[in-house]
C-alpha cells in the first residue's frame, strides 16, 4: 500500500478528506499536525455542545491507497484544485506490509493502576503480581485505563479497597460509564449493588458486555435507572457537564458517602469547588498530566 500525507490548514480539512475518499483512498485519517508540541490543541466538545472549532489549526491528513499509481494520481488531481490552496504534500511513500492485528494489539499493553491492580487486554497474560485485574479490550466506548482521568478514579477505588476493603457491600454509581471500567473495578473490589449509566447506547452495551466478560454483577442503562442514593458516586466526564450535573450527582450521594469527580483540568478546580459548594466541599486529591481528581465526603 501507499500512503499520501498532506499538511492541511483547518478550513480545508473536510473537503480535502472527502476528495481523497472520492479518489479511491482505502482509508483517510486526520491528526493534529502540532501533536506533542507546545501548539497541540485539545479538540473536544462538551456533551450536547459543538466543539468551538471542528479541526486543528494544522492537520496531517493521511490517505492509504492500494498502489503507487492511485496515490500519485490522487495527489496530482488534488494539487490543481482551488481548495488545495495552503495544503502541502508531506510524503508519498510505500507502507510495508504488516501484521496489522498483531501491531494493533502490541500497542495496547497491560496497564498498571497499582502494583496489585491491572487492566489487561484479552491477548495479554495477567501480570504475576496482579491480585485484581480487569479484562478489557479497546472498543468504541471510552475507558481502557490508559487515560489519566480513568486511572485516577481507578487508583481512588484501589485505595478505598486497601483501606480495609471499605468498598465491600457498598453501593456504587458510575455516572458516564463508557466501557464500564470504573463500575467493573468497584464490583471487583466487592461493591454491591453497582449501577453504571451513560447517555450513549454504545457505552451501555459495552459496559454490559465487559461486565459479563469479567464475571461481575452490575446494572447498566440510561440515567433513568439510577436509584435513590449510593455510598459512592463516580463521574469522569468533563468540567462543564460536571458543573451542570452538580445537583443531580450530589443528591444521589448518601449521607457519609463519597463523590469522586474526574475529567477536570487543574485550572478548573475553583469552578468545580464553587458549583458543588451548596452540597459538598470538593478537594483535589490526585493529579496526573494536568488533570485532577476531586473528591468529597458528604456530611
Ligand atoms: C470520559 S468518558 C468516561 C468513561 C469511564 N467512566 C472512564 O472513567 O474511563 C465520559 C462518559 O460520560 C458519558 N456522558 C457524557 N455526558 C453525560 C451525561 N450528561 N450523563 C451521562 N453520561 C454522560 C459519555 O457518553 C462517556 O461515555
Grouped pLDDT means (10 residues each) for the chain, 299 residues = 92 92 90 76 57 73 93 95 94 83 74 95 92 88 87 96 88 97 97 97 95 97 96 95 96 98 95 97 95 97
Place of cell 456504587: 172
Ligand 1 centroid from CA 175, angstroms: 7
Q: Range(s) for CATH 3.40.50.150 in the chain?
A: 104-297
User: Which residues sit opposite 153 in a β-bridge?
Assistant: none
Ligand 1 centroid from CA 5, angstroms: 33
pTM value is 0.75
Closest CA to 170 of 256, 249, 231, 257: 231
**Pocket around ligand 1: residues whose beta carbon is below 6 Å from it?**
47, 141-143, 150, 153, 174-178, 181-182, 197-200, 203, 223, 236-237, 241, 263
pLDDT at 34: 79
* Ligand 1 closest atom vs CA 263: 1
Q: Range(s) for CATH 3.30.70.120 in the chain?
A: 2-97
* Ligand 1 closest atom vs CA 178: 27
Closest CA to 219 of 201, 237, 254, 193: 193
| CATH superfamily of this structure's domain 104-297 | Vaccinia Virus protein VP39 (3.40.50.150)
pLDDT at 42: 64
Query: How much is the ipTM here?
Result: 0.99
What CATH number belongs to 2-97? 3.30.70.120
Using CB atoms within 10 Å of the CB of residue 164, give its burial: 0 to 12 exposed, 13 to 18 middle, 19+ buried. exposed
209 annotated as ligand-binding:
no
- Residues with Cβ < 8 Å from 36, sequence gap 6 or more? none
Amino acid at each position: 500500500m501507499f500512503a499520501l500525507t498532506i499538511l492541511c490548514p483547518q478550513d480545508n480539512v473536510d473537503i480535502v478528506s472527502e476528495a481523497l475518499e472520492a479518489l479511491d483512498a482505502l482509508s483517510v485519517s486526520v491528526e493534529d499536525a502540532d501533536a506533542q508540541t507546545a501548539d497541540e490543541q485539545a479538540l473536544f466538545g462538551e456533551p450536547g455542545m459543538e466543539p468551538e472549532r471542528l479541526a486543528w489549526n494544522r492537520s496531517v491528513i493521511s490517505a492509504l491507497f492500494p498502489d503507487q499509481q492511485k496515490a500519485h494520481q490522487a495527489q496530482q488531481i488534488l494539487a490543481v484544485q482551488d481548495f488545495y490552496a495552503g495544503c502541502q504534500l508531506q510524503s508519498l511513500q510505500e507502507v510495508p506490509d504488516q501484521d496489522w492485528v498483531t501491531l494493533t494489539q502490541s500497542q495496547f499493553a497491560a496497564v498498571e493502576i497499582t502494583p496489585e491492580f491491572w487492566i489487561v487486554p484479552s491477548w495479554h497474560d495477567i501480570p504475576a503480581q496482579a491480585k485484581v485485574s480487569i479484562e478489557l479490550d479497546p472498543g468504541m466506548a471510552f475507558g481502557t485505563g490508559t487515560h489519566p482521568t480513568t486511572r485516577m478514579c481507578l487508583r481512588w477505588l484501589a485505595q478505598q479497597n486497601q483501606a480495609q476493603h471499605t468498598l465491600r457491600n457498598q453501593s456504587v454509581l458510575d455516572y458516564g460509564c463508557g466501557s464500564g471500567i470504573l463500575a467493573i473495578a468497584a464490583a471487583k473490589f466487592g461493591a454491591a449493588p453497582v449501577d453504571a449509566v451513560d447517555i450513549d447506547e454504545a457505552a451501555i452495551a459495552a459496559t454490559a458486555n465487559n461486565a459479563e466478560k469479567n464475571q461481575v454483577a452490575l446494572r447498566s442503562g440510561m440515567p433513568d435507572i439510577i436509584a435513590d442514593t449510593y455510598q459512592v458516586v463516580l463521574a469522569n466526564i468533563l468540567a462543564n457537564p460536571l458543573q451542570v450535573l452538580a445537583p443531580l450527582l450530589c443528591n444521589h450521594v448518601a449521607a457519609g458517602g463519597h463523590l469522586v469527580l474526574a475529567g477536570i483540568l487543574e485550572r478548573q478546580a475553583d469552578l468545580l469547588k464553587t458549583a458543588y459548594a451548596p452540597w459538598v466541599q470538593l478537594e483535589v486529591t490526585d493529579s496526573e498530566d494536568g488533570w485532577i481528581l476531586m473528591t468529597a465526603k458528604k456530611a
